[in-house]
């Protein structure tokens, strides 16, 4: 297999925010950012789990203002660059401008897989601000390949430099990832990325499939810290890809050290595939729904798996967190009858 270079983008300090209940401290961010920088990671993401502007009653309040976290991370990096996530409708253009002042160098504008058209202004602003600008197609299992290509072309027309296939639910299988990445490689001139979740224990296999199909941006998280059952584990990914003959540009021992010595001690729980995480992957439910679902299940005294299966049947998407509580309440009412 010929060697080629690509970027591993670490999402510990953004996707991990979900698992941390958005309670990162400045010191945790500084220590993690230093470790990622020293290990040779080029980009890593810092923001509320739901992106810029996500700190709210609906999505969860941040312990520390995300702009302070972005600034703290950027201040300790010699070569690594800070990325931020922006979901139109949650974050606004002013949030992105503020993030740039705090030190952000990349923006990933995230939409539902069929709604790239809502991101035109945000993509344009990212380019205007001189950021590496990315289109992030979430819940990629909910659209066929033709629709994904159509939406990717919209992102490309707006100015996106990279387009991501995002398996937000951890639902996809390797052949489905290969199909999607290959189709984008043939249809757009942008670089292609992949972001996976591990709800069906497929994150690493899916990441390898994406790389072999031509993806040049790959997401990972230290100790797999992330929403649902977590993400592709960065330090393991480095080892796997190097075994396959790829150049990652990341020092294996250094990335292992930041994962085990910095991130592991502040994790609130081990990142593993629980029954709920499994059902999320099986039913195709947005990974960041996990903690909301567990809270709703306890409040109403119902089985969280029932809630997740129903959300999957309803094809719920990010931004519909209030629906979780409606579903839980309906099950409680039925249970009482």
Would you name the residues annotated as active-site residues?
18
Residue 15 marked ligand-binding: yes
108 assigned to a ligand binding site = no
Taking each helix axis as running N to C, give the angle between helix 321-336 and helix 290-300, from 0 to 180 degrees, rounded to the nearest 10: 30
C-beta atoms surrounding 40 within 10 Å: 17
Q: How many residues does the chain have?
A: 337
**C-alpha to C-alpha distance for 190 and 123, rounded to whole angstroms:** 14
Q: Cα(312)–Cα(299) distance, rounded to whole angstroms?
A: 21
Determine whether the annotation assigns residue 112 to a binding site.
Answer: no
Does the annotation flag 157 for ligand binding? no
Task: Tell whether 48 is in a known binding site.
Answer: no
CB 44 within 8 A of CB 69: no
Using alpha carbons only, what angle is made at residue 14 by residues 8 and 18, rounded to the nearest 5 degrees? 130
Question: Vertex 23, ends 14 and 295: CA angle to 5°?
Answer: 95
> What is the Cα Rg of the chain in Å?
19
The neighbouring-strand residues paired with 108 are 85, 134
Q: Is 270 exposed, middle or buried (0-12, 13-18, 19+ CB in 10 A)?
A: exposed
Non-local (6+) Cβ contacts of 333 within 8 A are: none
Q: Is 175 annotated as a binding residue?
A: no
Binding-site members are 14-15, 168, 195, 197, 286
Binding-site members for Mn(2+) are 15, 195, 197
């Amino acid at each position: 297999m010929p060697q080629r270079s690509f970027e591993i983008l670490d999402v510990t300090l953004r996707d991990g925010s979900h698992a941390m209940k958005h309670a990162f401290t400045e010191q945790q961010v500084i220590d993690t950012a230093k470790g990622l920088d020293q290990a040779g990671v080029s980009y890593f993401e810092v923001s509320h789990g739901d992106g810029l502007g996500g700190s709210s009653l609906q999505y969860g309040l941040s312990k520390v203002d995300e702009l302070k976290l972005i600034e703290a991370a950027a201040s300790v990096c010699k070569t690594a660059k800070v990325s931020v996530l922006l979901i139109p409708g949650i974050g606004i253009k002013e949030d992105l401008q503020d993030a740039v002042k705090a030190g952000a160098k990349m923006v990933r504008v995230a939409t539902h897989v069929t709604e790239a058209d809502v991101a035109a202004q945000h993509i344009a602003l990212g380019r205007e601000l001189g950021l590496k600008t990315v289109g992030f197609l979430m819940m990629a299992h909910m659209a066929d390949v033709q629709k994904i290509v159509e939406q990717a072309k919209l992102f490309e027309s707006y100015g996106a430099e990279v387009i991501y296939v995002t398996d937000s639910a951890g639902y996809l299988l390797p052949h489905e990832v290969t199909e999607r990445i290959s189709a984008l490689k043939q249809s757009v001139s942008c670089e292609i990325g992949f972001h996976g979740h591990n709800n069906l224990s497929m994150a690493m296999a899916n990441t390898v499939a994406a790389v072999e199909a031509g993806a040049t941006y790959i997401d990972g998280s230290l100790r797999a810290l992330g929403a649902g059952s977590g993400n592709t584990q960065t330090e393991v990914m480095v080892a796997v890809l190097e075994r396959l003959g790829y150049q990652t540009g990341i020092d294996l021992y250094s990335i292992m050290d930041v994962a085990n010595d910095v991130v592991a001690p502040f994790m609130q729980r081990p990142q593993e595939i629980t029954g709920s995480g499994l059902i999320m992957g099986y039913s195709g439910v947005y990974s960041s729904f996990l903690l909301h679902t567990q809270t709703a299940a306890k409040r109403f005294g119902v089985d969280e798996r029932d809630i997740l299966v129903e959300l999957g049947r309803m094809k719920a998407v990010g931004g519909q967190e209030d629906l979780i509580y409606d579903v839980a309440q309906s099950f409680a009412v039925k249970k009482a009858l």
